[in-house]
Chain A
Amino acid sequence: MSRTRLHACAIIAFLASEWSRYVWGWRAAGTAAAVAMALALVGFVWCRDRRLLLVVAASLATGVVAGSVWAAWRPAHPAVPPGARDVIAGEVQSVKETHGRKEIMLAVRGEGEDAHPCHYEALVFVERGPHVDAGQWVEADGTFVASNRVPTAMDILSPLELFDGRVRVLHRAASVGERVTSFMASGMEDGAQEENREFVQLALSMIFGDAQGNLPQNVSADFLAAGVTHLLVASGSNVGFALDMAAIPWHHLFGRARMRKKRLAYGAYALGVIWGFALICGFQLAVLRAACGATYSVAAGMCGRRVSGYTVLWSSAGMAGVLDPADLLTPSMLLSFYAAFAVCEADSLWRRTTADRAERSNDRRTFSASAVRRVGASLVRAFLVTAVVDAYMVPVLWWMFRQWTPYGALSTAILEPTIELLMPLIVLWGLTAGVAHALPWPPIAWCAQVLSRLGCASMFAVVWFVHRVASWHGSLRSLAPASFASACALVFALVAVAHVRMPRRHG
């Protein structure tokens, strides 16, 4: 059995046992371990490789130990039964108001009078109370409520506790990321005209994500309907962008890292950039996963190795499982993993499709292909790859959100490269605006003004385009409810279409 497969099997076994032990206890961990060992036994019979059994058994054991440590340190369930009074504290994820009653999604991090550490999500029902926004820390006093509904697949993957009570806002010092982004935002808003201030938040969301929900409702609704909400969320490509930006000064100062020592030094620098960026983004789950993947890639680079996208995906899952097993299967994390898988699949499929043609046309291209043709070809490629990614995303988005955005591939193919081009401009805009804000020297203020106008104009163009696409007929379609099983079946069907090939003909 190849190392790639062993690597994948080890991580799956580790995650299964760790997560099931941590979230659902010993019985679930035992079941997961039994199933994993049974599958490993089948694999052993199939390929006669003893390493598989050993690797899976070791991974299962390590996972159970890790899960037990987490369960003792930060329990994944409330300490009191439903009906008993309790106090919980945590960060507000989102707030919804229905029938005069607030429903607050809370990432609970402290429980009881002594606020002992814990890690789970609770839906808090509040009749009346102070105004609460996403990102704030609150303390809720009340009782847990039992649910009488049969749990669904998502309830099992990402348990949600129900809590009925009152909340009060806790005043906590702003995090490093909040301070950095608010400093940049205030500088950028100073330079922008009154009516253009919403573009500042949009620009910052494209770099750091919109975790606090600062964007106007109509803008986020347009992005949702156009199928490009992912552009407002910090994720893997943002981490890649941060690395690219950080590489520019390094290469100017020290040149390319070819020697081993230089490679190690650059690796340490890159790791600092990755985790610094994750810190500014407030360790949003998608960024955390992407940072784990990037760390693995950089570490491999420091050792002089190159790794495949799938290996990076598995490794990032394993690292995320070690760092934060409670959030391993939350919707955000699931989407992040699955999207990374979809991107790997789409790129692999495209490269297999065009491999021969690319080789054959390499020489021809140097002579005959014009710039227009190349741009056109890259646009077609972007569209097809994005369409494949969107196709892979359909089952999961259907199951989770019951939504479908048919024009998502088109708008993503156009907007994604556009925004990648705009990112350096946004960074420059933010930096000059911040410097001009702190040091009002006329040349800097003038530069900040020019960049502000450029930035606002480009953001206006993006918003205009997104709004046009969102206004097309049927841009956001509702879908009939889909079960977890049917979503899985559709995923397998898509994987089969992408991978099943005709056997070679002999003779």
Chain B
Amino acid sequence: MESSVREWRDTSGAAQAPWREAPHFDDAGWEDAFAGDWNPSTGASEAMDARVQGGRETFFTRLRSFVRYLRIVLLIGVAAGAAWIGSRHVAVDNAVPPTSSPTSEATSDAAQAAGANADNGATVQVDVHGDVRHPGLVTLQEGARVRDAIRAAGGFRRDGDAADVNQAALVWDGEEIDIPAATSENTAPETQASGQMGTVAWTAGNPSEGVASRASSGGMSASQSGGASRARKHAVPAGQKININTADLETLETLPGVGPKRAAAIIAYRQAHGPFSDLDSLRHVKGIGEKTLAKWQDLIVFVPPGNASTAGHPGP
């Protein structure tokens, strides 16, 4: 809940960027404060002026005049470089499972809101592939939708692709989004995973709407046929349940809506507070809400570690 303030200030247009300002001014009076009696000047400009006065404006002189633009280029480069490094850090941070204290993850709603001014929205990473221009990992703000993920991946390759995708669905960290190619017959794209897999754990929106979007964890892969890419996926096999108190990172990732970050958060909370007793106790883990729990209620069990027969792997 804390994330709210910055996020709104972030996403609501009014607070976002009122920075187109009156650009009329006549002299650089403020600069006088810096200049003082120092009377600065660039050596390059002096050299250039001397040559111009002498009427010998050569190619090199003109070239030198462009050196003045170096300051502008440098300024833009410093800012862009810093931002680029900052964006790289986000990617690296997301790639590494978080090791933060679980107590900080499970702060109360009110406390979260209080810190919203600083904590302006976590990011999520989503793997987008299929019929998009630049398939691959994209980083989005938490609360982003499938539409944002597709746009971050360069947009649809063909305009017809948009017709089959529920772009309004929310995305989860670690999710895999596969954009099926629009077929000439305009048939609904195939979204189910291969053969022996059980029910699709979760899709962004409605499976029939064409986006196969699942939490991936390695292991089984979906079939690929007809030129249209399919989602590689892992899901809890039909009829089997995961023991949330013993499941490891990979197993947790098979739950719908769970990526590496959320799986790590569950484990960290479990290590700090002991086993989960019921569905409600999972609410304390950051990012898990009612909707998520509703999807999990038939997929997880709460067996204390001592009584578990398998080390968290799906059991009957």
Whole-angstrom CA separation of A390 from B17 in the bound complex? 11
Tell me if B111 is interfacial: C-beta within 8 Å of chain A. Answer: yes
Complex contact B22–A239 (CB within 8 A): yes
Complex contact A498–B75 (CB within 8 A): yes
B246 to chain A, nearest CB (A): 27
Whole-angstrom CA separation of A310 from B26 in the bound complex? 9
Complex contact A148–B111 (CB within 8 A): yes
- Using an 8 Å CB-CB cutoff, how does the interface string of A454-486 with B read, 1 for contact, 0 for none? 000000000000000011111111111110000
Tell me if A152 is interfacial: C-beta within 8 Å of chain B. Answer: yes
Chain A contacts for B10, CB-based, 8 A: 400-401, 403
Complex contact B76–A332 (CB within 8 A): no
Complex contact A350–B72 (CB within 8 A): yes
Given A213-B13, A307-B26, A502-B43, the answer on whether A237 and B90 have CB atoms closer than 8 Å is no
Complex contact B18–A4 (CB within 8 A): no
Query: Closest residue of chain A to B38, judged by CB?
Result: A503
Complex contact A401–B6 (CB within 8 A): yes
Complex contact B33–A394 (CB within 8 A): no
Tell me if A145 is interfacial: C-beta within 8 Å of chain B. Answer: yes
Q: Which of A164, A210, A482 contacts B14 (CB 8 A)?
A: A210
Complex contact A230–B117 (CB within 8 A): no
Complex contact B30–A218 (CB within 8 A): no
Complex contact A96–B152 (CB within 8 A): no
Whole-angstrom CA separation of A342 from B18 in the bound complex? 13
Complex contact B114–A149 (CB within 8 A): yes
Whole-angstrom CA separation of A160 from B93 in the bound complex? 29
Given A98-B289, A231-B20, A502-B41, the answer on whether A8 and B30 have CB atoms closer than 8 Å is yes
Complex contact A152–B117 (CB within 8 A): yes
Query: Closest residue of chain A to B45, judged by CB?
Result: A356
Query: Closest residue of chain B to A392, judged by CB?
Result: B79
Report the interface size class on chain B: 35 or more
Q: Which of B14, B21, B111 contacts A339 (CB 8 A)?
A: B21
Tell me if B158 is interfacial: C-beta within 8 Å of chain A. Answer: no
Complex contact A398–B109 (CB within 8 A): no
B162 to chain A, nearest CB (A): 11
Q: Which of B23, B79, B134 contacts A490 (CB 8 A)?
A: B79
CB contacts under 8 Å to B, within A288-323, are 290, 293-294, 297, 306-312
Whole-angstrom CA separation of A190 from B231 in the bound complex? 46
Tell me if B71 is interfacial: C-beta within 8 Å of chain A. Answer: yes
Chain A contacts for B65, CB-based, 8 A: 356-357
Interface of chain A: mostly helix, strand, loop or mixed: helix
- Using an 8 Å CB-CB cutoff, how does the interface string of A395-407 with B read, 1 for contact, 0 for none? 1011011111010
Chain B contacts for A149, CB-based, 8 A: 2, 107, 111, 114-115
Chain B contacts for A473, CB-based, 8 A: 133-134, 152-154
Number of cross-chain contacts by CB at 8 Å: 346
CB contacts under 8 Å to B, within A126-167, are 134, 145-155, 158, 160, 162, 164
Chain B contacts for A4, CB-based, 8 A: 29-30, 32-33
Whole-angstrom CA separation of A64 from B303 in the bound complex? 64
CB contacts under 8 Å to A, within B1-23, are 1-2, 4-23
Q: Which of A353, A387, A391 contacts B68 (CB 8 A)?
A: A353
Complex contact A499–B31 (CB within 8 A): yes
Tell me if B82 is interfacial: C-beta within 8 Å of chain A. Answer: yes
Whole-angstrom CA separation of A125 from B153 in the bound complex? 35
Given A336-B19, A340-B22, the answer on whether A398 and B83 have CB atoms closer than 8 Å is yes
A482 to chain B, nearest CB (A): 7
- Using an 8 Å CB-CB cutoff, how does the interface string of B37-55 with A read, 1 for contact, 0 for none? 0111111011011001000
Stretch at the interface among A30-38, A100-108, A255-263, A425-433: A100-108
Complex contact B71–A353 (CB within 8 A): yes
Stretch at the interface among B118-126, B184-192, B194-202, B248-256: B118-126
Tell me if A2 is interfacial: C-beta within 8 Å of chain B. Answer: yes
Stretch at the interface among B140-148, B218-226, B234-242, B261-269: B140-148
CB contacts under 8 Å to B, within A190-229, are 205, 209-211, 213, 215, 218, 220-221, 223-225, 229
Complex contact A209–B14 (CB within 8 A): yes
Complex contact A335–B18 (CB within 8 A): yes
Complex contact B90–A348 (CB within 8 A): no
Tell me if A343 is interfacial: C-beta within 8 Å of chain B. Answer: yes
Interface centre among A125, A223, A481 (most CB of B within 10 A): A481
Query: Closest residue of chain B to A243, judged by CB?
Result: B22
Tell me if A52 is interfacial: C-beta within 8 Å of chain B. Answer: no
Complex contact A237–B20 (CB within 8 A): yes
Chain A contacts for B16, CB-based, 8 A: 224, 229-230, 233, 401
Chain A contacts for B39, CB-based, 8 A: 504
A245 to chain B, nearest CB (A): 15
**Other 13 A-B pairs with CB < 8 A, given A210-B13, A347-B23, A389-B19:** A101-B1, A152-B117, A160-B5, A231-B20, A311-B29, A343-B22, A349-B72, A353-B72, A388-B72, A478-B90, A490-B79, A494-B78, A505-B46
10 tightest A-B contacts by CB?
A: A309-B25, A339-B19, A147-B114, A286-B18, A310-B30, A471-B155, A236-B22, A152-B118, A391-B79, A236-B21
Q: 10 A-B contacts, Cβ less than 8 Å apart?
A: A94-B12, A98-B1, A147-B110, A240-B22, A308-B26, A310-B28, A357-B65, A403-B141, A406-B80, A478-B90
